Each structure stands twice: as C-alpha cells, then as structure tokens.
Amino acid sequence: MGSNFRWKLLSLIVLVGLSIYALYPTIRYYSMSEPQRKAMDPKALGDLRADALKLGLDLQGGMHLVLELDRSALRDEEVPEAMARAIEIMRNRVDRFGVAEPSIQRQGTDRMLIELPGLLDKDRAINLVGQTALLEFKLVKNDQDGHRALERLDRVLAAKQTAGAPADTELIGLTHPLTELMPYWPDLPYGGSFVPEADIPKAKALLTSVNADSILPIDAQVLWGKTSEIYQGTSGRILYVLDRRPQLTGRGLASAVRRVGGDATRPNAASVSITLNAEGTRVFRRVTAQNIGRLLAIVLDDQVASAPRIKERIPTAQASITGSFTDEEAKDLATVLQAGALPAPVTIIQEMTVGASLGSDSVRRGTNAALIGAAIVVLFMLVYYRGSGLVAVVALFFNMLFLFAALAGMRGTLTLPGIAGLALVVGMAVDANVLIFERIREEMAAGKKLRGAIDAGFNRAFRAIFDSNVTTMISAGVLWWIASGPIQGFATTLFIGVLANLYTAVMISRMIFDVYVSRPGVEKLSI
C-alpha cells in the first residue's frame, strides 16, 4: 500500500469527521426529552432545531393549506406581481412564526400551497396566513361628531319600516333601532358606543342592511373593536366612529415585536411594540402634537385593536398595540405586521390537518419497513458472499452515514417518500458490490491470483457501476426539478444516496480489500 492508499484513507477520515459534525445537531436534538427542550434557551434551541435534520409534514404532522388570491380588485396584469408579493409575505410570516421547513409553492395563476410541519393548531395557522395585516392609525371622532354619526344611522334605520328590512323584527318600529342596542347611550366609553355581546349580531345586521358607509359623512366610518371589553360589569364590544382617512399606515412601520408591560393598566399583559421608520416618525410626531386629548385608533384589518388617548406630543418612533392579547396572539400579530400587508385578501379554499399520531405511525411503519429491508439485504450478503459480504455491509454503513449527514448539512427534510428513497438506495448500494464480487469470482475462476483478480474485478465492474449510478442520478435530478413537495424528498434522498454509493462501493470496498491482501501469506478470499 502506497501513497495512493494514504490519500484514500485521509479522504475517508475527513468525510467521516464532517459527517459526524453535520449529524451532531440532529442526534442531540432528537435525543433530548421535551422537558430538556423547554429548559433550554429558546434562541439556542431554535438554532439547534435549524441545524438538525427536519421531518416532513407526513412524518410529524401539521397543516396543509391551499389559498386563493382575491382578484376582484386587481387588473389581470396586476395578478402575477400581486401573487409573487403574497408568496413573499407569506414566506416571511411563516419564517418568523418559527415553523420548521415550511413549504410554500405557487399553484396556477392565483393559488398557493402552504405546508406547515409540526403546526397542529388549526385556528392559529389559519389566522396566521389569512390576515391581510392592513395597519392604519385613525383618529376617533370627538363625542359630538360621534353622536351625530350614530343618530344619522338611527334616522335611516327608523325610516326602513318594511318588514324584515332591519335584521331583527323586534326592532321594527323603533325610533332608534341602533342606539336601542347601546344601553349606556349617549355615553361613548373608550371613544365608541358600547354594545353587549348578545346584541352584537343584531347591530352588525342593522349596519349591513343600510350599508352604513354610504350613509355616514364622507369623512367618517364605523368599525368594531377587535376584542371584547368589560364596561360596568357587562361584556361587549365597542363600535367606534372614526375618521375615514388614516393618519398613518403600515408603510410607516419599521419593526414589530411582542412584549409584556406595554399597557400600564395591565402590566402583565402581552402587547405589540412597534417602531416607526423615519417617515412614520415624522407623521406620528405631527399627529400627536396636533391632537392632544383625542383618541388615536390603531386599526388592523378594519378592526380597532386599541384606541389610546394622546396625552402629549410623542417625538419618538415607539408605539404599542395593546388589548386582550395572549402571548401567542401578540407574537402572531407582531409576525404579520413585520412581514407586511398582503396586496389583496386571500381565501383558504382547502385545509387539511395531518395529526401527530398519523405522523408517528408513518415514521414507525416507514422506519420498520426500511430496517426490515436493510436487514434482509445484509443477511443475504453475509450468507451468499460470506466475508466479502461483510465488506459490503461496512460500505453500506458509510453510505447511510454520508447520506444522512448530507441531508442534515443541507438542512433538508426527511419525508415518507424520502424513507422509500432510503430503501431503494440500500438495494442499489449492495448491487454495486454484487457486480464487483461477481467479477472477482469470474477472475478467480479463470485462474488469476487473488490480487490480480481483485484489481481486474474492480476495474471491469467500475464501468457498469458508473453508468448505472449516473443514469439513476440523472433521473433523480430530473424528478427533483419537475416535482414538488414530498416527491422532491424522494429525489433528493435517491440522488445523494447514489452519489455516496459511487464512493463507498468503489473506494471504501477497495480499501478494505487492499488492507486484506496486503497481509503476508493471504492467498484465499471468502467470497
């Protein structure tokens, strides 16, 4: 054995070292218990999970959603750009949300497919991807203007005396159909009129029945509060009367983060702290200076998230969105605000939840199938080729090591079709060794000595091994290029496995044989 062998051994040591390095985060992450993960620093855990091999939607469960872009307000030539922007925003939202290895793909001209592995909270997922996230800062009308606007609506509703015009027949004939539902009228708590929970559907139906926006003054609009409030012991929501023109929009936003303590009245409640950009800061400074004492509503997707009172000029770029937020709701709101507003509303036209139990069952069945197949192959090689079969088993071990290390190093995702690819790679890995062993047998039967038979066996089998593996890699590459989702996982696993097979079957097997025949007095081979 000369310098050529030493270079081969050095390359093997380097590859094994790199593989162990790439696989360490995966081994550590999946060997940790749930309490250990919770006790770990969130940032460190996030980094560890990002470096570990991911499991696909079909293995760990999650959400499968198909969204359609609302094209009603878009011209045909605007749809492609709006779709590209929507996909970009959705990807930013999902990335900030912390979903590991999401899949977001365009389907046709106005649809996108989103897969969120590991996310089983259906309502949270839908809320995350479905929000338009249109952020606006609007001044709340003063009490006098607010009263006039609601009374104007009352007069129009009272004039509609036809049966069924208002949504509730109990309200027909009333002189104040809308404000009858506001027990504390004409008081305007929180800058709007309070409606108890039980009467909110009636109030909404009344406003819809007369198209409130067309009746109110051109500079006014009514919007509901996003969350419930408790007023004098009664639970309900606020109907705000606002300026129609926003003072500031989400374009003035630089960043948004979840925080605790943003609401002085609820120091332990979650809120969203926003930072404005230079233009937003300039406008915010002017608006707060000119409207001290008034309420400034923070409107998200046509609902008032909060309406704090302007107590003084605010020269800084900081503001808070407060409300009855849970930690998750505050985090999600910060996520969608940071990612930006969608160019048009989206509608979820298909949704499917893959349960964690189904994913675990898929992992168990797929793993068992791959292990059983590998065990049968190993047993066959050991029985049929005896000592040489053990060489094939060692080469197969290194093949799997390099394959998983490559997937982990690429931050890839293992899917159920990927496991099928693993089983196929096992078969192809030993197939290369079978070709080599059979050629060695033929050379030995022709009377060649052991070393010459091994040299000739490897040299003559190499062409067939190279051709078969390269053609398979080409097929896997084309499949990866034209396919999507889990099928790409199969193609990726197959491609990497076959590439590793070229090295392990030819290089590692040859190195073992070279070590074996280099010993003095060796004239026979168990094959």
CATH superfamily name and code, 3-31+356-517: Multidrug efflux transporter AcrB transmembrane domain (1.20.1640.10)
Dist. CA 333–CA 326, nearest whole Å:
10
Distance CA 99, CA 50 (A): 10
Instruction: Tell me the one-letter amino acid at 183.
Output: P
- Specify the length of the chain in residues: 527
298 beta partners: 137, 306
**pLDDT band at residue 356, thresholds of 50, 70 and 90?**
low
**328: number of CA atoms within 13 Å, CB side?**
7
Residue written as tokens 């990726």?
A: 492
Render pLDDT for 475-492 as a digit per residue (tens, 0 to 9): 988 988 887 666 777 888
What mean pLDDT, rounded, does the chain reach? 81
Domains of the chain: which residue ranges? Answer: 3-31+356-517, 62-130, 133-341
pLDDT at 452 over 90: no
Return the structure tokens found at 307. 């309406």
Distances, alpha carbon 379 to alpha carbons 79, 374, 506, in Å: 58, 9, 21
Q: What is the DSSP letter of 2?
A: -
DSSP reduced 3-state for 462:
helix
Please check the confidence at residue 160 and state whether its pLDDT lies above 80. no
Under DSSP, the state recorded for 488 is H
Is residue 350 within 8 A of residue 403, CB to CB? The reply is no
Query: Which of 133-147, 168-182, 196-210, 339-353 has the lowest average pLDDT?
Result: 168-182
pLDDT of amino acid 169: 47
Which pair of structure tokens corresponds to residue 218?
Answer: 């051109």
SS3 of 10, please? helix
CB 439 within 8 A of CB 461: yes
- The pLDDT-based confidence of 165 (bands split at 50, 70, 90) is very low
Architecture of domain 133-341: 2-Layer Sandwich (3.30)
Kindly tell me the burial class for residue 265, based on how many C-beta atoms sit within 10 Å of its own C-beta (0-12, 13-18, 19 or more).
exposed
| Other CB atoms within 10 Å distance of the CB of residue 204 | 16
What is the bridge-based pairing of β-strands 413-414 and 54-55? parallel
Angle, CA of 465, 372 and 527, to the nearest 5°: 45
Count H helices, E strands: the chain?
16, 17
Residue 140: CB partners within 8 Å, gap ≥ 6? 146, 191, 192, 240, 241, 242, 243, 294, 295, 296, 297, 307
Amino acid at 503: Y
CA distance 480 to 476: 6
Q: What is the pLDDT of residue 474?
A: 92
Report the pLDDT averaged over residues 5-34.
89
What dihedral do alpha carbons 513, 517, 518, 521 form, nearest 10°? Answer: 160
CA atoms within 13 A on the CB side of 365: 11
Indicate whether 152 pLDDT > 70: yes
> Distance (Å, rounded) from C-alpha 506 to C-alpha 498?
12
Residue 142 DSSP symbol: P
| pLDDT, average across residues 39-46 | 78
Cα–Cα distances in angstroms (integers) from residue 73 to residues 213, 342, 453, in the given order: 18, 13, 76
Question: Which tokens go with 183?
Answer: 């027990």
Span 174-189, mean pLDDT?
82
166, pLDDT greater than 60:
no
Chosen CATH of 62-130 out of 2.60.15.10, 1.20.120.80, 3.40.50.300, 3.30.70.3400: 3.30.70.3400
pLDDT above 80 (res 134): no
Q: Residue 195 pairs with which residues in a beta bridge?
A: 237
Q: How far apart are CA 30 and CA 370, in angstroms?
A: 19
Per the listing, tokens 């931050």 go with 411
Place of tokens 């997922």: 125
In angstroms, rounded to a whole number, what is the distance separating the alpha carbons of residues 106 and 409? 27
User: Where is average pLDDT lowest: 27-36, 404-413, 485-494?
Assistant: 485-494
Cα(508)–Cα(502) distance, integer angstroms: 10
Distance CA 200, CA 469 (A): 68
Mean pLDDT, rounded, for 1-19: 83
Measure the N-to-C terminal CA separation of the chain; round to a whole number of Å.
22
Check whether 397 has a pLDDT greater than 80.
Answer: yes
